[in-house]
Amino acid sequence: MPLSAILPIQDSGASLLQASSSDVDEHCASLGGWRLSYDQISAGAFRGSFTQLSLPRLDVFREITSQQVRQHGLLGDGCFGIALPWQGDGEINCNGASVAGAQVIACIDAEIDICTPKSFELRGVVASAALIEELAARLDIELPRMVWHQLRVIEMAQAPVARLRAHLAAIHDTITTTPERFDQPAVRAGLEDALLVEIMDMLPTARANDSGRSAAARKRTVERARALMHGSGERTLSLLEVCKAVGASPRKLGYCFQEVLGTSPMHYWRAMRLNRVRRDLKRAAGTGASVYDVAVQHGFWHFSQFSLDYKRHFSELPSETLRRTRLAP
């Protein structure tokens, strides 16, 4: 019996969102109804694309980003999400744990905080948590409580993960070649059933990643260091000051940052400040603020070095960002 017969819902049609951007903030703004913030960690020109097929009960997405990015925020209130890393120049990190093999990223009504590598692609499905809970109750399936209110890396049976991966590949092939197929109600119903069957088959097999406890400890260390960095204002902190405040040696702090965010503490802090400068420059169109004024507010006192760092990180000079913002309609 199809799941649509167990839990019928009115078919409201399908919609397709496709967006591409050369700016990490613009890319983030294109993510449908997700309430996420992105920070570009690695240096270089950013390229991103986002595709979302919205069905009556599910959203199927594909996201590609060229640079290392930290993503944080929410998918939405009461959302269930399951995602499969597709490809990338390194590991994706989720709350201090990396994802590999038959592992997936899953959450129910939880805050998102992940760090993705360069040239990364992620595909997955988002639905309401209420739908997943009701289907589980109707089918007498016990859902893993580990994914409630937290983002987790979890291991699942390989067979349903492989089948879900095949469905996602077929969906995006169809979007590329014959997207009009999704205009047919029978296609939408069959696709939703196929995806929900695999999800409901996967979830009972879920088990926590073995590194969960140590990953949580690493993440707490990084969070304390980040809070200090973000609250430091214009004063430049030394690595030793950060280490002393969080109670970790430079080597340990560096290891924690590398495991959780894929970068060093100082590189992360500099990248965050450069992202803040860029956002302030894009908001400075109607003001008389100069690049120097904005840079100083974020603790960059050596202006020529700041300009070099900015161009290396975003592939354009800060003056070009400000000029482009002021010329925009």
pLDDT tens, position by position, 152-161: 777 788 888 8
- Confidence at 316, pLDDT banded by 50, 70, 90: very high
Mean pLDDT of the chain: 84
Last-in-domain residue among 210, 233, 265: 210
Q: For residue 323, count CB atoms less than 10 angstroms from its CB and return exposed for 0-12, middle for 13-18, buried for 19 or more.
A: middle
What is the pLDDT at residue 26?
A: 92
State whether 32 and 148 are in the same domain. yes
State whether 84 and 232 are in the same domain. no
State whether 96 and 186 are in the same domain. yes
State whether 248 and 202 are in the same domain. no
Last-in-domain residue among 210, 238, 272: 210
- When divided into structural domains, the chain yields a total of 2
State whether 7 and 24 are in the same domain. yes
The first and second tokens of residue 4, run together, are 């649509």
- Confidence at 147, pLDDT banded by 50, 70, 90: low
Nearest 5 degrees, angle CA 164-CA 165-CA 171?
90
State whether 113 and 150 are in the same domain. yes
- CATH code of the domain in which 310 resides: 1.10.10.60
State whether 106 and 245 are in the same domain. no
State whether 104 and 237 are in the same domain. no
pLDDT tens-place string over residues 52-95: 999 999 999 999 999 999 988 877 778 888 899 888 777 788 86
- CA dist list (Å): 29 to 24, 25, 49, 50, 110: 9, 6, 11, 10, 20
What is the pLDDT at residue 22?
A: 94
What is the pLDDT at residue 78?
A: 81
pLDDT tens-place string over residues 206-235: 776 655 567 778 888 888 898 888 765 555
Last-in-domain residue among 194, 210, 226: 210
pLDDT tens-place string over residues 230-276: 765 555 566 788 888 888 888 888 888 888 888 888 889 889 889 99
What is the pLDDT at residue 145?
A: 72
CA–CA dist 191, 195 (Å, integer): 6
State whether 37 and 81 are in the same domain. yes
Q: Is the dihedral of CA 301, 304, 305, 309 positive or negative?
A: positive
Measure CA 178 to chain center: 28
State whether 181 and 238 are in the same domain. no
Domain containing 245 equals 216-327
State whether 84 and 176 are in the same domain. yes
What is the pLDDT at residue 151?
A: 74
Residues 6+ apart with CB under 8 A from 266: 239
pLDDT tens-place string over residues 105-139: 888 777 788 889 999 999 999 998 889 888 888 88
State whether 69 and 170 are in the same domain. yes
pLDDT tens-place string over residues 2-46: 555 555 555 567 899 999 999 999 999 988 778 889 999 999 999
| Cβ atoms 7, 131 nearer than 8 A | yes
